[in-house]
Amino acid sequence: MRVIVASTNEQLGVMKLQDALRRAQHQGLDLVEVAPNATPPVCRIVDFGKFRYEIAKQEKDKKQSASKLKELKFRVNCAEHDYMTKIRRGEQFLDKGNKLKIQLQFRGREMAHKDLGEAVMRRVRDDLSGMAVVEMPAKQVGKSINMTLSPLPAAKRKRRFSVAEQDEENLQDDSQIEDVED
């Protein structure tokens, strides 16, 4: 079996099992097989507790990189403030790397005005174009229109409706009002 010392990444070469175990015990460490299917099998001389911790850390990072699907629901007659709140929330989801499912629901006689619903979906797509790309275009299914957006790579994302910008604008507006009153 091929033996590697983990702390220095020094390759000790191919040796017998007994020799490798003796070497590991001499250093006060463990002999761990890392590639059993290789020819010859690869083993490392390492502290087993640290080795398990590193593996757990790598698995946790893999789980975090998996994207989730978040959903935003709209109506045809959505008020402007409600619309902007949902768009800001959608930007946050996309900024975290999550996919976004946009659903526009029709109620009652709203089904007669499908063009208004399609206009809302186009507006959502255009407003989030700096953060996402359309994975599944807007498609009507029953009494709703669905669309799926995937986030752009982190370097290409540009937020347009962040909450911090609006807070700064409100603070500037408030300070101007105070100056006028004095």
pLDDT on residue 9: 82
pLDDT on residue 143: 93
Distance in angstroms (rounded) separating the CA atoms of residues 117 and 104:
7
pLDDT on residue 146: 96
Query: Domain boundaries in the chain?
Result: 2-64, 69-164
Distance in angstroms (rounded) separating the CA atoms of residues 114 and 99:
25
pLDDT on residue 163: 59
pLDDT on residue 174: 47
In this structure, whether the domain defined by 2-64 belongs to CATH 3.10.20.80 is answered with yes
In CATH terms, the superfamily for domain 69-164 is: Translation initiation factor 3 (IF-3), C-terminal domain (3.30.110.10)
Neighbours of 152 (CB within 10 A): 16
pLDDT on residue 65: 60
pLDDT on residue 161: 83
Q: Residue 151's Cα: distance from chain center in Å? A: 8
pLDDT on residue 162: 73
Neighbours of 28 (CB within 10 A): 7
pTM above 0.85? no
Distance in angstroms (rounded) separating the CA atoms of residues 99 and 87:
14
Q: Is 162 helix (H, G, I), strand (E, B) or coil?
A: coil
pLDDT in tens, the chain (182 residues): 888 888 888 888 899 999 999 999 999 999 999 999 988 899 999 999 999 999 999 888 777 666 789 999 999 999 999 999 999 999 999 988 899 999 999 999 999 989 999 999 999 999 999 999 999 999 999 999 999 999 998 888 888 887 554 444 544 444 444 444 43
